[in-house]
Structure 1
């Protein structure tokens, strides 16, 4: 690009790599790389990449079928007990499963979850 300023011709640089140019990366783990993935799993791959970038631990659920059944693949290992009442049993800190369910936590396996929900039904 050539710009005219008071009869002077100034050659302006264009394109190329410039310090501070462009948007800052949201990926804090270093350089990025473009990859190609099937559209059918693109959202799950992005969800996994974001979790890893945020330093979360992940648990990958695999399937024996050729077409994977995608459950939620990201599992947080942080248990926020700030809204759950704590008890003391035999000198140890304890949390009731019923209190966890009341606070919105999901209990697994289903068999235990069903027992807790049945217990909650009897309490009300």
Structure 2
């Protein structure tokens, strides 16, 4: 069996933790993060979401952000046996925790934890994106 964490393609590992009746999934989903950095400048950065639940998301960023900052995420949900078409999910959240990135990441990267808003949108990707 191939090691999915080292794969370049998106995957969903499964439930990694159950906290307060909330399931947290280990993922490898490419995402686009938009918002304002610590200097008040707007930015867009591609990253990979590595945990996601109904209330939180976590990922690494090279852009410095501060606690309380609102960030927007755009993720492409991959096609599966049950999902016949790729989807684009857009959601936003507030930075509620920051850590120095681990796992051999560059020193200037930080792990960002978002408290997600309950509002989100899911749309099919146009055929030109698939």
TM-score (norm 1): 0.22
Which structure is higher in helix share? 1
TM-score (norm 2): 0.22
Which structure is higher in strand share? 2
Q: Report which of the two structures shows the higher radius of gyration computed on alpha carbons.
A: 1
